[in-house]
Amino acid sequence: MADPEKVHAVRVGWGLVIHGGVGVLPPEQLTPAVDGAYRDALTESLSRGFETLSGGGSATDGVVEAIKVMEDSPLFNVGRGSNLTSDGLVSMDASIMEGGTLSAGAVAGVRDVRHPIRLARHVMDDCPHVLLAGEGAEAFAREMGMASHEPDFFFTQRRWDDLQAAKAREAQGEAKPNTVDAGDEEIRDRAGTVGAVALDREGLLVAGTSTGGSANKKWGRIGDSPIVAAGTYAGSHCGVSCTGWGEYFIRHAVAHDIQARMAYLGVTLKEATEQVVLGTLEDHRAGLGGVVAMDRQGYVEMCFNTRGMYRGWVDEVGRVRVAIF
C-alpha cells in the first residue's frame, strides 16, 4: 500500500489541498509534541475547508476558511504567526483567484488585518482593482468592515527570536544569496507561506495564498504570494498555490507556468509541477520551494524541492491526509 506521506496522483474528487510552507523545522526541533501540533493545525484547516464545501459553500469559501485557520495559528508564517520585518512589525500579503472567470484579488504590505486572505477576497469581489497595497489596502479593509489590530496582536516570541537571529547572520555576513545552496535558517526565514486550492461540486477551481513574508525584510519588500501568476493562479486547467523564495517564483511566473504547460504542452498536472519545481527552479539554481495544485478532474499534486513541506488534502468523503517530510 502506498505511503500516504509520499503518494502522488491523489484524486480527491471535489475537495481541498493545502500547504503550510516549505520552511519546516529541522528534525531535532520537530519533537513529537511540535510535530503533532503542526499536524493538528493542518488537519483543522482541512476540516474547516471540508465543512465549508460539504455544507454547500463554494471553492472560494473553502479556500478562505482553510487559510483563515492557518492565519490564526502562531505555527505558520502568516497572520498571527507572521515573520517580522527589519523594523519589528508584520507586513502581510495574500491573493486569491477563481479559475472559471479569472477573477482575482490581492493585498500586499498590510500590517493590521487579522485575515489577509479575507481582505484579498474583498478586493476580488468588491473592488475594481486586483492588487491593493499598504495603507490603501488597510483603508479598504475598514470600508469592508474589517477590524484594525495593534502590532501586539501579531507579536510572537518565536518570530522575535527569528528576527534577532536573522539580523545577527546579516551582521556577520552569513546570510546566503537566494540559491539552492542556502542553509536551513535562510530557508525558514524566507520560505514560510500558507495556501490552498479547492474544487467544489460545481466544478469551480480556486487557489489562494497568504504569507507574512521573509524575516528581516526591508524597503517594503513584497514576494510572490500576492502576485497573480507567480504565487497563485487558477485557470482553465488547474489551480496552484506556491511557497518558497519569492523573488524566483516571480521571475519564473511559477504558478502560471504550471497551468501553461498543461494548456500548451498537454502534460498532466504531475508532469507540469515536477517540470517547474524539480526542473526550472533547480536547473536555474533559482531557489527552493514547492507548490500544491489541483486540476479540474480533482487530481492533487504536492511537489517540493526542499527537505519538507507542511501539507495535506481532504477528499469528497472527508478523508484527511497530512504530511511534513
**Within the chain, where are the H helices?**
32-54, 59-71, 116-126, 134-143, 157-171, 184-190, 246-251, 254-260, 269-274, 281-283
Collapse the DSSP code of 202 into the 3-class scheme (helix H, G, I; strand E, B; otherwise coil) and give the result: coil
Distance in angstroms (rounded) separating the CA atoms of residues 106 and 323? 28
Known catalytic residue: 179? no
Distance in angstroms (rounded) separating the CA atoms of residues 79 and 70? 8
Among the listed residues 52, 85, 193, 273, the single catalytic one is 193
182-187 own/partner pairs: CB under 8 Å, 24+ apart: 182/287, 182/288, 184/26, 184/307, 187/22, 187/23, 187/288, 187/306
Collapse the DSSP code of 130 into the 3-class scheme (helix H, G, I; strand E, B; otherwise coil) and give the result: coil
Q: Hey, how many other C-beta atoms are within 10 angstroms of the C-beta on 266?
A: 10
| Angle made by CA atoms 262, 117, 91, in degrees to the nearest 5 | 110
Residue 27 amino acid letter: P
206 to 123, 175, 240: CA distances (angstroms): 15, 36, 8
Q: Hey, how many other C-beta atoms are within 10 angstroms of the C-beta on 118?
A: 21
The half-sphere exposure of 296 on its side-chain side, counting CA atoms within 13 A, is: 13
User: In this structure, what C-alpha cell is assigned to residue 277?
Assistant: 519545481
Query: Max Cα separation, the chain?
Result: 54
Dihedral, 105, 110, 116, 121 alpha carbons, nearest 10: -20
Rg (CA), the chain: 18
Catalytically active residues are: 193
